[in-house]
Amino acid sequence: MTEAFVGLRIAVLLPCYNEEAAIEQTVAGFRAALPGATIYVYDNNSTDRTREVAAVAGAIVRGERMQGKGNVVRRMFADVEADIYVMADGDATYEAAAAPILVQRLLDEQLDMVVGARRSEVEEAYRRGHRFGNRMLTGILARIFGRTFSDILSGYRVFSRRFVKSFPALSSGFEIETEISVHALELAMPVAEVITAYGARPEGSESKLSTYRDGWRIMRTIGHLFRIERPVLFYGGFGLAVAVAALVLAVPLAITYAKTGLVPRFPTAILVTGLMIVAAMSFMCGLILDTVVRGRREVRRLAYLALSAPGALSKVV
């Protein structure tokens, strides 16, 4: 292990589902890159020989029965104790040799997360639909939260202990990467990106990601996070839309009343009144929920600050 990493507990976390063809190469790559690290393979109900191959390759093999990458990540983060966590997929597509660079960046700059942003040299490695979806989702996230990463869906990340142990991991599937990114942005954590190579899967290994199904789930996750993390914008925007609709309906009534002193379309007047009440209630809900979210964010921030920064660990060494 690099001299700077001596004394640090580094865990390599590899969530896997039917990766018999790639897991041996993945484990060997991280073993060579981080010789002193402990490599964990968390099998997610594989029907092939993933567990056996991983064990022979020298990894500690554990399992998670609840299907979905998010469920596996939740289990890994809860069970594994380490100072630095390196997470990647078990499909041998991520550049294992770049792991020391990502870990060193985390330590040198006292960061809580370093993302291995993907640069594909092979067209088949990173499908065009996935590229487009990644760019679109990244743009949406930037508009909602003000800042983002260039590759929010990368599964190659290095975390500090205080990130891992303060992350609630509520997602169940591939949307977990989006939740991880939002967690870092919401708590204003120090983070960085490092460009890493991204290769094609080995022969016999198949992607478990569905462009449309998982893309829709990620979009739902972003919408859900927007609702709970930015309630003033979410409910205030809805209230504004309702208020505008009410005003559009009210203009003819106001004109008629100004000319005749009568309100002949009484049902429309009732509808306008109801819409304005809904708009006011929606805006007030946003304000109340914003106070709740702020308190919850403070609690999460305190839980995050209860643990030492990774740079402090390296200085002790």
- The helix or strand, by DSSP H or E, that contains position 236, with its residue range, turns out to be helix 231-260
pLDDT tier at 122 (50, 70, 90 boundaries)? very low
**Strand runs labelled E in 4-162:** 10-16, 38-43, 60-63, 84-87, 113-120, 157-160
- 3-state SS of 272-286 is HHHHHHHHHHHHHHH
Site of tokens 């462009």? 211
pLDDT tens digits for range 124-172: 445 555 666 677 777 777 777 776 778 888 899 999 999 999 998 888 8
pLDDT tens digits for range 268-282: 889 999 999 999 999
Q: Quick check: 302 pLDDT over 90?
A: no
287 within 8 A of 232, measured Cβ to Cβ: yes
Neighbours of 33 (CB within 10 A): 21
Q: Quick check: 304 pLDDT over 50?
A: yes
State mean pLDDT over 106-111.
Answer: 93
Q: What is the C-alpha to C-alpha distance for residues 27 and 281, in angstroms, rounded to an integer?
A: 55
| Beta pairing, strands 191-198 & 113-120 | parallel
pLDDT at 99: 96
Give, in degrees to the nearest 5, the angle at Cα 159 between 156 and 162.
160
State mean pLDDT over 37-51.
Answer: 95
pLDDT tier at 113 (50, 70, 90 boundaries)? very high
State mean pLDDT over 165-193.
Answer: 87
Tell which wins on pLDDT, 215 or 77.
77
State mean pLDDT over 292-296.
Answer: 86
Q: Quick check: 316 pLDDT over 60?
A: no
State mean pLDDT over 185-198.
Answer: 90
Q: Quick check: 286 pLDDT over 60?
A: yes
pLDDT at 2: 60
The token pair at 97 is 């040799």
Q: What is the C-alpha to C-alpha distance for residues 125 and 115, in angstroms, rounded to an integer?
A: 18
Q: What percent of the chain shows pLDDT beyond 70?
A: 86
Burial class (CB in 10 A: 0-12, 13-18, 19+), 86: buried
Q: Of 21, 42, 14, 12, give the one whose Cα is nearest residue 207.
A: 21
Lowest mean pLDDT among 13-22, 188-197, 224-233: 224-233
